[in-house]
Every structure is written in structure tokens, then in C-alpha cells.
């Protein structure tokens, strides 16, 4: 029986003269060249046309640049990474907030400008000013060096895809050479530092974006900024779903694999992230071409409409609810968790709110006598509980029933 669970829900964006999309490097190059020469009701005319392609970190920089050069055939190419600070300078800048913990850090208030050397930025700006013909300015946060251009293209990248690229061992943190290191440490720096700066940069430029470039999948796609903004407006005004993703884990089970037609060769699936806008993507169908954009763009662009006044006032432009499915069927136990109080998470990590959880049990295998673990047993002290947890790091064993209440599921 085929699953009715839609793994690729998309917002339909009506295509017209302003809202359109193209697929493939040849079509992308043709679209940009037409805009340079005044086509598509463009505002640009040769002999000089500056195209700024601004990247979110995680885009395969060298591969995409090579493809753009071949498709666009520019007269000059200026890479803004020559204006960046060195790896050592960036690490030193972030060190105090990053700390030594493998997972936790303090939320950074750095901006993308802090990752650039001011003198080098001025040198790159001079290069751009001197260039003639079709000038391609390219790089992560490239608008720092190219605040004024004729065509502004933003190459966004889904957070989940960035994580896969970290895990592949090919992607480092922004302005670092740490590819292949512990994926949790790479994610930590992205979450607490790099992505915060890049999100501030992106949020300030939504209205300026002429095109959105999607290189998340095998085939590159590009939509107009008008289509992108229209898609976000539509999503903010009606029920919608984001594109879910699935991940294995230590407790992972077999239920989702069978119910959702997932890859049967995978060992298990522990998670389905079904609505976590910081992680998930929003799909937009523009004239039959489906493009992927980080769902957090919707939260940033339309926080009032999406969250309402009271929630926005409390949490800011963040989506404070996570919808996950956790699968332990024929798998293992979920991890025991203790979430910090709001005051502690604000003081220790600079985060606005903590994590409270509610569970709805969709299915259970009665023959396995499933239980829900919740709360310490009467008489168990915090100290002996903590000692047992520390010991389990060495022994690999923890007698949960000795310390934790268990209720039939």
C-alpha cells in the first residue's frame, strides 16, 4: 500500500512575467545575460553590468563559480573571499563565545562585516569600480564588498543540506579549514556564530534580491525575487507544510521506514523533522519548477503574520515550536533528557527560551510492553542520579528503572 504521507509538499506560486523560474546552468546564464542587456523589462544596459552573486555559507563555492562563469561568460570575475580575514583571525574573534564544549556555546552577535578585513574590502571595491563589461562579483556575503550592483542574486542554502555537507567531510565552517572534524563541533559553530551573522545579512536584503539561486540539489534552479517574495506571502496567509527530512539515531526504529516509503536499506530512522523552520526547507513550485528555500526565510520575512503579535513580541523572529516524529519501534529507548530553565539558558547560552516537550503516541507494539519514562523516583537524590549518569559514560550502561518512573504507554 502506497503511503499517503507527502514528503515533498510545495507552495504553488502562480507564474507570470514577474514571477518565473528557470532550471539548469544554460537557462540561468541566458536569464542573467538577458537581464544585463535590458531584457525581461530589466533596468540594465551594457557596456557595464555588475552582477553580485551573494552566497550563504555551505554552497559549493568553487563548483558553482565555475558553472556560472561558463554559463554567463563575464568579462571580469571578482571574488570577495580575497577580502576575508584569515582563518586564525576568525577563530580568535569567535573564541570567547565558542568555548571548549563539543555542543554548546554562547549566541554570537557578530555581523558578516566582522569576518572581513576593512582594508581588503576597500581594495575589492576599487577593483569592482574599475571593471568594465559584464562584471561577476562572487562570494559568501559578497554584498559587503558590493553594496551597489545592477543585478543581485542570492544563492541560499538549506540548513539540513549544510549538515549533510559537514558530515561528508568536504565542508568546513565559514573561513576555517576544519572540514572532516567532528560534525557536532562544526554544527555548533554554525548554529551559534556563522549562521547568526549570515541570517542578519540575508534578512536585510530580501527586498533587494533580483533572483534566488537554488543549488541544494543536483540540478541548479533560479527564481525571480518577485516569485520568492510572493511564495513567502502565500505561505504566511494559509496552512502550509515544510519539506520533512529523516535521520537515523541510536534509538532509531522501523515504523517510519515502512509507513513513509523511506529507503529500506537504511539501518533505522530515529527522527522525522516535520516542521522545524530553522532546519527544514520550504518548497515553491513556480510554473512547474520546484525550488527549495530555507523555511526560516518565511519566519524572518513575515513574523507578525506567521506568529501573531503576542508570540512575536515574546520570541522575536523565531519559530518557537518544533514538530518532530521520533521512532523507537523495534529500536531502542529515547535518550533521557533534562532541559534547562529559561533563566539558565539565557544566562549560560544567550538563548531566548528553553525546550518544553509534549508527546502524542501514534502507535505502539503492545507485545514489547512499551513505557514512558518521566521524572525521578521518590527518594532518588540529584547527586546519586548525576553520579550514575557520569558512571554510564564509562560503562555504557544505565539502570533507568532504578532512578526514573516508568508508566505504561
Q: What is the pLDDT of residues 272-306, one digit of tens each?
A: 999 999 999 999 999 999 999 999 999 999 999 99
Residue 387 has pLDDT above 70, yes or no: yes
What mean pLDDT do residues 146-161 have? 96
Residues 395/401/405/407 CA torsion (nearest 10 deg): 120
pLDDT at 195 over 50: yes
pLDDT of amino acid 3: 84
Whole-angstrom distance, CA of residue 242 vs CA of residue 49: 36
- Domain residue ranges in the chain: 10-245+275-320, 333-409
Whether 292 and 217 have beta carbons less than 8 Å apart is answered as: yes
Looking at every residue in the chain, the average pLDDT score rounds to 94
Cell for 344?
Answer: 539558565
pTM of the model: 0.92
pLDDT bracket for residue 194 (50, 70, 90) = very high
Q: Please tell me the predicted confidence (pLDDT) of residue 41.
A: 46
Q: What single DSSP character describes residue 335?
A: P
- Other CB atoms within a 10 A radius of the CB of residue 293 amount to 23
Give the tens place of pLDDT for each residue, 297-346.
999 999 999 999 999 999 999 999 999 999 999 999 988 888 889 999 98
Question: Running DSSP on this structure, what letter comes out for residue 85?
Answer: P
Q: What is the DSSP string of 282-293?
A: EEEEETTEEEEE
φ/ψ region of 175 (left if φ > 0, alpha if ψ in -120 to 50, else beta) reads left
Kindly report the number of other CB atoms within 10 A of residue 185's CB atom.
17
Confidence at residue 352, expressed as pLDDT on a 0 to 100 scale: 85
The answer to which of 54-63, 79-88, 111-120, 348-357 has the lowest mean pLDDT is: 348-357
Write out pLDDT tens, residues 28-55: 999 999 999 874 444 544 579 999 999 9
Asked, as a colleague might, if the bond just before 47 is cis with ω within 30 of 0, I would say yes
Residue with cell 551559534: 192
Dihedral of CA 354/359/365/368: which sign? positive
pLDDT at 46: 54
Answer whether 106's CB lies under 8 Å from 349's CB.
Answer: yes
pLDDT of residue 339: 87
Residue-level length of the chain: 409
Helix (H, G, I), strand (E, B) or coil at 234: helix
Amino acid at each position: 500500500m502506497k503511503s499517503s504521507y507527502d514528503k515533498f509538499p510545495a507552495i504553488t506560486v502562480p507564474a507570470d512575467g514577474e514571477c518565473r523560474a528557470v532550471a539548469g546552468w544554460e537557462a540561468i546564464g541566458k536569464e542573467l545575460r538577458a537581464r544585463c542587456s535590458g531584457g525581461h523589462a530589466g533596468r540594465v544596459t551594457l557596456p557595464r553590468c555588475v552582477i553580485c552573486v551573494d552566497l550563504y555559507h555551505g554552497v559549493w563555492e568553487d563548483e558553482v563559480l565555475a558553472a556560472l562563469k561558463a554559463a554567463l561568460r563575464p568579462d571580469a570575475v571578482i571574488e570577495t573571499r580575497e577580502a576575508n580575514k584569515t582563518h586564525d583571525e576568525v577563530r580568535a574573534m569567535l573564541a570567547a563565545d565558542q568555548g571548549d564544549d563539543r555542543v554548546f556555546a554562547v549566541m554570537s552577535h557578530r555581523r558578516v562585516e566582522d569576518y572581513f578585513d576593512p582594508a581588503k574590502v576597500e581594495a575589492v571595491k576599487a577593483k569592482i569600480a574599475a571593471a568594465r563589461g559584464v562584471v561577476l562579483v562572487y562570494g559568501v556575503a559578497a554584498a559587503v564588498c558590493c553594496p551597489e550592483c545592477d543585478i543581485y542574486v542570492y544563492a541560499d542554502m538549506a540548513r539540513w543540506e549544510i549538515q549533510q555537507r559537514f558530515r561528508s567531510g568536504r565542508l568546513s565552517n565559514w573561513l576555517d579549514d576544519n572540514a572532516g572534524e567532528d560534525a557536532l563541533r562544526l554544527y555548533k559553530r554554525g548554529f551559534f556564530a556563522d549562521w547568526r551573522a549570515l541570517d542578519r545579512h540575508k534578512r536585510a536584503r530580501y527586498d533587494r534580491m533580483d533572483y534566488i539561486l537554488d543549488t541544494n540539489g543536483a540540478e541548479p534552479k533560479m527564481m525571480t525575487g518577485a516569485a520568492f517574495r510572493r511564495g513567502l506571502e502565500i505561505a504566511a496567509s494559509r496552512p502550509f507544510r515544510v519539506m520533512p527530512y529523516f535521520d537515523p539515531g541510536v534509538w532509531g526504529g522501523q515504523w517510519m521506514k515502512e509507513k513513509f516509503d523511506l529507503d529500506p536499506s537504511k539501518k533505522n530512522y530515529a527522527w522525522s523533522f516535520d516542521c522545524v523552520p530553522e532546519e527544514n526547507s520550504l518548497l515553491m513550485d513556480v510554473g512547474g519548477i520546484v525550488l527549495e528555500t530555507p523555511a526560516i526565510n518565511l519566519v524572518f520575512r513575515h513574523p507578525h503574520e506567521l506568529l501573531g503579535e503576542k508570540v512575536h513580541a515574546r520570541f522575536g523572529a523565531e519559530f518557537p515550536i518544533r514538530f518532530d516524529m521520533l521512532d523507537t519501534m523495534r529500536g531502542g529507548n529515547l535518550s533521557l533528557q533534562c532541559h534547562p530553565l529559561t533563566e539558565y539558558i539565557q544566562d549560560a547560552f544567550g538563548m531566548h527560551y528553553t525546550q518544553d516537550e509534549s508527546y502524542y503516541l501514534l502507535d505502539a507494539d503492545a507485545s514489547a510492553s512499551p513505557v514512558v519514562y518521566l521524572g525521578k523516583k521518590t527518594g532518588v537524590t540529584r547527586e546519586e542520579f548525576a553520579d550514575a549518569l557520569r558512571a554510564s559514560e564509562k560503562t555504557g550502561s544505565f539502570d533507568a528503572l532504578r532512578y526514573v518512573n516508568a508508566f505504561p504507554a
